[in-house]
Chain A
Amino acid sequence: MDWLMLFAAGCCEMLGVAMLGKLQRDRTWQTFCLFLLGFGGSLLLLSQAMKTLPMGTAYAVWTGIGASGGAVLGMLLYGEGRELRRIICIVMILGAAVGLKLLG
């Protein structure tokens, strides 16, 4: 159950990032509500999952799913650059962030 919540938290974060992109084209209150719902739900589910899972593991998985998923969504939905160099840089940033959270 805790892992399911953690996975859902990552998905909510992806929703938040997708809405962050969408906010730039349609500044409607629906998009803004979904943006708040995405990040709010994500933090809420993460804190629930952390009640049973170790904090470092939970943080690392959450960051990994949410931020990399957000980057992939940006490429799929908004035609953001798919160059290898860009992908390598994003992987370096997120890999290091996940590593730091696992160590923390």
Chain B
Amino acid sequence: MKNNSAWFKIAGAACLEVVWVIGLKHASVPWEWLITGLALLVSFYTIIAASRKLPVGTVYSVFVGLGTAGTVLADMLWFGEPFRLIKLVLILVLLAGVIGLKLVTGNFHSKEVS
């Protein structure tokens, strides 16, 4: 499964997305903005790298989806957003979609011409 590294890259990019989304919302001093900017650059660099191996539609939807789930979790865990069952259900649906997509993509025959 040589595509596994690409899936890890998307997961890493999504974690960094959580960092820069939080940064855009809460950063106030220069070093916080520096971290936000770095996270933004590295996360986009990482999805460029991941889409070398995986279809771009897959890469981008998983990146957006995991980033959203992570941001919602971070808001509930650290920024005092109230826990709501519906949010957890949606996160589970989202993760099921990601896992399903990973299983389906195992059979994906890339039509890439290099």
Interface residues in chain A, defined as those with a beta carbon under 8 Å from any beta carbon in chain B:
17-18, 20-21, 23-25, 39, 63, 66-68, 70-75, 78-81, 83, 85-86, 88-97, 99-101, 103-104
Contact = CB atoms under 8 A, between A and B. Distances in A.
Contacts of A101: 68
B90 A70 contact: no
Chain B at the A interface: mostly helix, strand, loop or mixed? helix
Nearest to A23: B48
Given A97-B65, A99-B90, A103-B84, A89 B104 contact: yes
Contact of B68 (A23, A70, A72, A97): A97
Interface residues of B, number: 39
16 contacts: A20-B59, A20-B60, A71-B58, A74-B60, A75-B57, A81-B55, A89-B97, A89-B100, A89-B101, A92-B96, A92-B100, A93-B101, A96-B68, A97-B65, A103-B84, A103-B87
